[in-house]
Amino acid sequence: MLRNLTGSTRLLGIAGDPVAQVLAPPIWTTLFQRNGMDAVCVPMHVQPEDLTAFLKGAGVIRNLDGLIVTVPYKPIVASLIDKPTERASLAGSVNVMRWEQDGSTCGDVLDGVGFVNGLAARGQDVKGKRALVVGCGGVGSAMAFALAAAGIDSVSVADTEPARALKLAARLTAKGFNANVAPAVAAHFDLIATGTPMGMKEDDPLPLDCTWLRPGTIVCEAVMHPVETPLLKLAAAAGCFVQPGTYLLDYQLQLMAQFFGFDVEIELPQAQHYAV
């Protein structure tokens, strides 16, 4: 995959802790090659205490086109960006960032848009539905705001840290959306979205109580590896419509390309080919 590297090779980084699970390096490097670009996507494992120094150093790498930001740094990077987009500011999360000509940083969050676009591409209209978002960190916040912007009737949010759920509900309400804090219980909702890392490990507990999960409920994950998490297996067996986290990634790829200024043709699906 890393053939034909030259002194002119461009870099796209993906920074997080951990990064072993990320799908971006093979996806983007393959897309670059297919589109005749001299570029690669490189994982960058950064410890929390080194994040600020890393971002400062990365800004002086002239062949670095930008960074994809993954767990757990999306909210932290959002607070460090000079020019966040409106949706990044609302969600308090950034998953893509780049450096401008004047050295300032620009950031956006595309997770929520990719999540909702993935549902729409599969014929699922969220308008008028009642949603529960479990996990109020970077990706969960992005999901909640994207659902609200897409016309969801109400958004209930849940988190293992109650204060974080209260803050997200307050931000949604301040923008005129119908939002509240609720327990992580799959009852009385038309759509359930989880923005937590639970499900990445075999012994992870379920992110919510599924005792009252109803057939026909839309159940979505942000986790991409494995594609079929324990929650999605349970939901599918219960007669629910399920959406793996790979759709969240696939349906933001074109938006990522536009953000970074990449002229690439992208055929979907991509993520599920690598999430083995």
Specify the DSSP class assigned to residue 209: B
Question: What are the structural domains of the chain?
Answer: 10-110+252-273 (3.40.50.10860), 112-248 (3.40.50.720)
pLDDT at residue number 18: 93
pLDDT at residue number 3: 63
What are the pLDDT digits (tens) for 183-209? 999 999 999 999 998 988 888 999 999
Ranges of residues in the chain with a pLDDT under 70 are 1-3, 275-276
pLDDT at residue number 2: 55
Residue 81 CA to residue 14 CA, distance in Å, equals 16
Q: Is 82 left (phi over 0), alpha (psi -120 to 50) or beta?
A: alpha
Cβ-based neighbour number of residue 8 at 10 Å: 8
Cα–Cα–Cα angle for 196, 202, 208, rounded to 5 degrees: 40
pLDDT at residue number 215: 97
- Residues annotated as catalytic are 74
Which alpha helices (DSSP H) does the chain contain, by range?
24-34, 51-58, 74-80, 86-91, 111-121, 138-149, 162-174, 230-237, 245-250, 253-260
What are the pLDDT digits (tens) for 29-74? 999 999 999 999 999 999 999 999 999 999 999 999 999 999 999 9
pLDDT at residue number 202: 82
Residue 56 CA to residue 67 CA, distance in Å, equals 12
SS3 250: helix
